Chains A and B, each alone.
Chain A
Amino acid sequence: MNQAVAASQSTLGSRVVRSRRRENITGWLWASPWILGFLIFTLGPMIASIYYSFTDFPVISPPVWIGLENYQTMLSGDKIIGQALKVTTVYAVVSIPLNLSVGFFLAILLNQPIRGVTVWRTVYYMPAVISGVAVALLWQWIFNTDFGLANWLLDLLGIQGPRWLLDPAWALPALIIMSLWGVGGGMIINLAGLQGVPSQLYEAAEIDGAGPWRRFLTVTVPMVSPVIFFNLVMGIIGALQTFTQAFIMTGGGPQKATHFYMLHLYNNAFVWLKMGYAAALAWVLFIYILALTLVVIRSSSAWVYYEGELRRG
């Protein structure tokens, strides 16, 4: 009898092992499109890109190892990279906080008991869904010095408008103003965050004698801070990769005033066919994005409030 039990246990055991193995195989098979994609289009290229960054690679001939030369060129020989970093950083540092605060402010307005919330939401969100070359062309026309919409609006106020995209001092501000057209995306996310704040928290704060400002600072802001944090991180990643607007509207000019980092990378890779140098530029951009993101994440423990079980409330 004992033998029979042991035998049945062992077949049960092997059956469990076998079904485990079958489950594993099935799981990997279903995930295989991504696994293959990750190896072919992400991990492999990342490794190749590190290697290329240490080579001279003009595409028409195979890469030649040159050690750290590309990175040394960045530090001393490349006269444009400093300007590219400056333009990209200024754009990020001004446009991100501007978009975050305007988006947050709009979300607060729309979270009031007002009429026609859906209509307002549509109007504010609509420009955020379109992007690309068509938008860039529209804004190039808006910023036309003599006949553009921007200078017409300024003219109504009696102000002689600048030459915008033709003026080194005004080209970057023009692109920053343009970025505000897409503020609806951040607004929508903030609005969802605001609506997710349980009303009991406000009621409790009110019972404790908190006025509207105090409720705003001690309930609203902490509860929405994870959303702001998310918008900030995505904003950094997006702003540092700005390309289409500059390529279409200014070509990086005038006098390199809008020469974004991605434009420099594109030129090196696909205009001058310096793939090795461009790979090195890509890694520096990645490290820059990573460093900024890490700084934000580090600082987040001080200002981002992560709720425990409150969300379920």
Chain B
Amino acid sequence: MSGSLFASKKLTTGLTRTFTYIALVIGAFFLMIPFVWMVSTALKEPGDVLKFPPEWIPDPFVWTNFREAVTLPYAPMLVFLKNTVIITFVSMFGQLLSASMVAFSFARLRWWGRDVLFMIVLATMMLPSQVTMIPVFILFKELGWVDSLLPLTVPAFFGGGAFTIFLFRQFMMTVPLEMDDAAKIDGCSTAGIYSRIIIPLSRPVLITAAIFSFLGHWNDFMGPLIYLNSTKNYTLSLGLRIIQGYGGYGVQRWHLLMAASLLVMLPVLLLFFAAQRYFIQGVVISGVKG
């Protein structure tokens, strides 16, 4: 392995190794036990949840908790799922399409003002969304879009966010410019270069950007909280909030709350296991090369 802190053979003694493993196991224990706790609670009978010390293995396993959690009369989670899926995928499409086009322009085309505008793109990454939140809300209110999915999807089509543009541009810069010239000589238009050369080559960054977009919209809370009023338009985040609020009047039904939370997290966790490489790639591009 390449040089690390204790890479010298003298110091990679049994002692250092043992210490490393012990530290890693302790850390992993604390990071994993919340998941175990959540699954355990989600599978318990209501009467077994409020016990101390807790019983870690539910007896019996109440799988119907999951069904109950998504069919509560006051929180139609399947409707919320539909809304969340629409918002997530429409926004993802808008983000990928517009950010890749804009990044294509910044990375592959020569035009007056390009570098100044790219500096502005980078500067907006530092801008907290709170500064624009109120006027944008007023704008959507004037358009009559409040309490619809439009404020949560339409903005994605306008550039897809500085971070996504940056991600695409960094990648597109690595493709040799000669490929564009060769395609141009063969009579390929700019749109052709974008759709037939650059986009197929950008597959890894497309996947990374899609994952980040998915995470951002799936977990978004502030956006739906501000823009959605009627229950039929709610997202899963707001649905969890309803279940929590309902329990707040009496005894909190943690088994249902954990079952619902687990189901909401599940797609993200599955995606993580399926595409961990791309998660890490995205973080690394943003952190190390940025």
Contacts and interface: CB of A to CB of B under 8 A. Distances in A.
Nearest to B248: A251
Given A126-B272, A134-B264, A275-B134, A241 B28 contact: no
B276 A122 contact: yes
A33 B98 contact: yes
Interface in B240-290: 240-241, 244, 254, 257-258, 260-262, 264-265, 268-269, 272-273, 276, 279-280, 283-284, 286-288, 290
Given A34-B159, A212-B11, A132 B237 contact: yes
A285 interface: yes
Contact of A133 (B17, B101, B221, B276): B221
Contacts of B226: 270
Interface string A35-61: 111101110111011001000000100
A98 B32 CA distance: 19
Interface in A236-257: 237, 240-241, 243-244, 247-248
Contacts of A123: 28, 31-32
A304 B215 CA distance: 31
Contacts of B155: 37, 41
B128 A237 contact: yes
Given A131-B219, A132-B219, A137-B244, A26 B111 contact: yes
A139 interface: yes
B24 A120 contact: yes
Contact of A36 (B31, B117, B136, B158): B158
B6 interface: yes
A170 interface: no
A111 B1 CA distance: 9
B138 interface: yes
Interface in A173-224: 181, 184-185, 188-189, 192-197, 199, 201-203, 206, 212, 215-216, 220
Given A48-B138, A114-B17, A149-B37, A133 B241 contact: yes
Contact of B132 (A34, A49, A266): A49
B213 interface: no
Interface stretch (A5-13, A83-91, A140-148): A140-148
Using C-beta atoms within 8 Å of the partner chain, give the interface range for chain B.
35 or more
A126 B280 CA distance: 11
Interface in A91-138: 106, 108-114, 120-127, 129-135, 137-138
Contacts of B128: 237, 240-241, 282, 285-286, 289
Interface in B1-59: 1-8, 11-12, 16-17, 20-21, 23-24, 27-28, 31-35, 37-38, 41, 49-54
Interface of A: 23-24, 26-31, 33-38, 40-42, 44-46, 48-49, 52, 59, 106, 108-114, 120-127, 129-135, 137-139, 141-142, 144, 146-147, 149, 152, 155, 181, 184-185, 188-189, 192-197, 199, 201-203, 206, 212, 215-216, 220, 227, 230-231, 237, 240-241, 243-244, 247-248, 262, 265-266, 269-270, 275, 278-279, 282-283, 285-286, 289-290, 293
**Closest 3 A/B residue pairs (Cβ):** A27-B111, A37-B158, A34-B159
13 contacts: A27-B110, A108-B5, A129-B215, A129-B269, A131-B215, A132-B219, A133-B240, A135-B261, A195-B2, A199-B2, A243-B222, A285-B131, A286-B130
